[in-house]
C-alpha cells in the first residue's frame, strides 16, 4: 500500500508541444500507459483514438483561428457546437475550439462556408486528425472570400482581458482522491481525462503491485481516527488484490473507496477556471478540494491577473 499527498501540475510543457503529442500525453493517463510514449508513438495513438471515436481525448487540444473576409457569422453562431468559442475580433472572427469541436462541425454543418474554410485549413495542417470527416466539408461549400490563419499562443496571451478569459485554455493534472474528482467533473464545460480503475490492474509491477491512497487531511497522523482509516485501506487493498486473482479490474474495483489515488486532467479556458475557483476555494467548499484548489488558484492568478476578480 502506498499513501501519497495530493498535488497538481499545470501542463505548461504541453502548451509548446504539437497537437498529437499533447493528445497522446493526455490520452494515456486513462490507462496509465505513459511508459509506451516514444518519439514515434503519438501519431499512431491519436489516429487510433480518432478512428474509434474516443472523442474525450480529442477535447484535450484546442486551436485558435482568426477568420477574415466575406463572413456570415450568423450560421456559425447558430451551430454552437460543443466547446466552440466565437467572438468578433478586429474586422473578423476569433474562433477557438477543440479538435473534437472542429470534427463535429465538419460532420454536422458541411455546407457552412465558415466551417468548410476552418476545417479545410486545419485538415491541411493536420490531416491525420481529420481523416474521414474533412472531405464533405471541403466539397460541399464554397469557401471563396474567407481567409483563415492560426493565432499562436503568444498572441492569444496578448488578447484583452475578456477575450483572454475565453480563448486561453489551460490544462492541469491533479493527483487527488476520487471524492475530489467526483465533484470536479461536475464542471460540465470543462474537458476531463481520468485514470481508469476499469483498465488499470494495480497488481502489476508498474503500480508496485499495490493500491495507492491519498492521505486524508481530516485526521492527524497520530490519531485513533487515522489508524482506523489506515486499517480500512490495508484491508481494502488485500481484498482487491485477492479479487484480481479471479476477476477483471472492472469487477475488483467495486471494493475500492473514495480514498483511492487517481490522476485527472482538467482542460478549460480561464473563464471556467475562474468559475471553478469561485466555488471550490470558499470556506463552504469541501476541505479536500480547497486543499488543492487554493494553491492552484493563487498560482494561476499570479500568471493571469484577470483571474483575481473572482
Q: Name the residue with higher pLDDT: 168 or 75.
A: 168
Q: What CATH number does the domain containing 177 carry?
A: 3.30.1360.170
Same domain? For 177 and 137 the reply is no
Same domain? For 146 and 182 the reply is no
Q: Does the pLDDT of residue 82 top 70, yes or no? A: no
* Cβ(163)–Cβ(53) below 8 Å: no
Does the predicted model carry a pTM greater than 0.85? yes
Residue 78's pLDDT band, with cuts at 50, 70 and 90, is: low
Of the residues 95, 116, 151, the one at which a domain ends: 151
Q: Is residue 30 part of a domain?
A: no
HEC profile of the chain: CEEECCEEEECHHHHCCCHHHHHHHHHCCCCCCHHHCCCCCHHHHHHHHHHCCCHHHHCCCEEEEEEEECCCHHHHHHHCCCCCEEEEECCEEEEEEEHHHHHHHHHHCCCCHHHHHHHHHHHHHCHHHCCCCHHHHHHHCCCCCEEEEECCHHHHCCCCHHHHHHHCEEEEEEEEEHHHHHHHCCCCCCEEEECCCCCCCCCCHHHCCCCEEECCCCCCCCCHHHHHHHHHHHHHHHHHHHHHCCCCHHHHHHHCCCCEEEEEEEEEEHHHHHHHHHHHCCCCCCHHHHHHHHHHHHHHHHHCHHHHCC
Same domain? For 72 and 195 the reply is no
Q: Residue 139's pLDDT is what?
A: 46
Q: What CATH number does the domain containing 85 carry?
A: 3.30.70
Give just the sign of the alpha carbon dihedral 173, 175, 178, 182: negative
**Which residues lie below 8 Å from residue 57, measured CB to CB, with a gap of 6+?**
23, 26, 27, 30, 46, 49, 193
Of the residues 125, 151, 177, the one at which a domain ends: 151
Same domain? For 174 and 287 the reply is yes
Of the residues 151, 184, 200, the one at which a domain ends: 151
Rg (CA), the chain: 22
Domain hosting 200: range is: 2-18+168-308
Same domain? For 228 and 200 the reply is yes
Same domain? For 135 and 180 the reply is no
Q: What is the mean pLDDT of the chain?
A: 92
Q: Name the residue with higher pLDDT: 72 or 81.
A: 72
Give residue-wise pLDDT tens across range 121-145: 999 999 989 887 766 555 445 667 8
Same domain? For 182 and 139 the reply is no
Please state, in angstroms and rounded to a whole number, the distance separating the CA atoms of residues 11 and 225: 36
Same domain? For 281 and 218 the reply is yes
Amino acid at each position: 500500500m502506498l499513501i501519497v499527498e495530493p498535488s497538481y501540475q499545470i501542463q505548461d510543457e504541453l502548451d509548446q508541444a504539437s497537437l498529437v503529442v499533447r493528445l497522446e500525453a493526455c490520452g494515456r493517463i486513462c490507462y496509465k500507459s505513459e511508459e509506451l510514449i516514444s518519439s514515434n508513438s503519438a501519431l499512431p495513438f491519436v489516429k487510433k483514438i480518432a478512428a474509434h471515436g474516443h472523442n474525450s481525448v480529442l477535447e484535450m487540444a484546442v486551436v485558435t483561428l482568426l477568420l477574415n473576409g466575406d463572413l456570415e457569422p450568423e450560421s456559425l453562431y447558430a451551430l454552437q457546437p460543443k466547446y466552440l468559442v466565437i467572438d468578433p475580433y478586429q474586422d473578423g472572427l476569433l474562433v477557438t475550439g477543440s479538435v473534437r469541436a472542429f470534427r463535429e462541425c465538419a460532420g454536422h454543418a458541411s455546407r457552412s462556408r465558415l466551417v468548410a474554410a476552418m476545417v479545410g485549413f486545419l485538415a491541411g495542417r493536420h490531416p491525420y486528425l481529420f481523416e474521414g470527416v474533412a472531405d464533405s466539408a471541403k466539397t460541399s461549400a464554397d469557401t471563396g472570400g474567407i481567409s483563415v490563419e492560426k493565432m499562436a499562443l503568444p498572441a492569444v496571451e496578448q488578447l484583452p482581458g475578456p477575450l483572454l478569459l475565453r480563448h486561453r485554455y489551460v490544462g492541469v493534472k491533479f493527483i487527488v482522491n476520487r471524492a475530489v474528482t467526483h465533484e470536479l467533473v461536475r464542471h460540465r464545460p470543462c474537458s476531463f481525462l481520468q485514470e481508469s480503475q476499469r483498465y488499470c490492474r494495480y497488481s502489476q509491477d508498474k503500480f508496485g503491485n499495490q493500491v495507492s491512497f491519498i492521505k486524508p487531511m481530516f485526521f492527524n497522523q497520530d490519531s485513533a481516527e487515522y489508524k482506523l482509516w489506515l486499517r480500512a485501506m490495508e484491508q481494502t487493498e488485500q481484498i482487491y488484490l485477492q479479487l484480481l486473482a479471479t476477476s477483471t479490474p472492472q469487477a475488483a474495483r467495486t471494493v475500492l473507496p473514495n480514498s483511492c489515488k487517481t490522476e485527472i486532467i482538467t482542460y478549460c479556458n480561464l473563464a471556467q477556471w475562474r468559475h471553478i475557483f469561485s466555488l471550490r476555494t470558499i470556506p463552504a467548499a469541501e476541505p479536500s478540494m480547497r486543499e488543492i484548489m487554493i494553491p492552484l488558484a493563487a498560482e494561476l492568478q499570479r500568471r493571469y491577473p484577470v483571474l483575481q476578480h473572482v
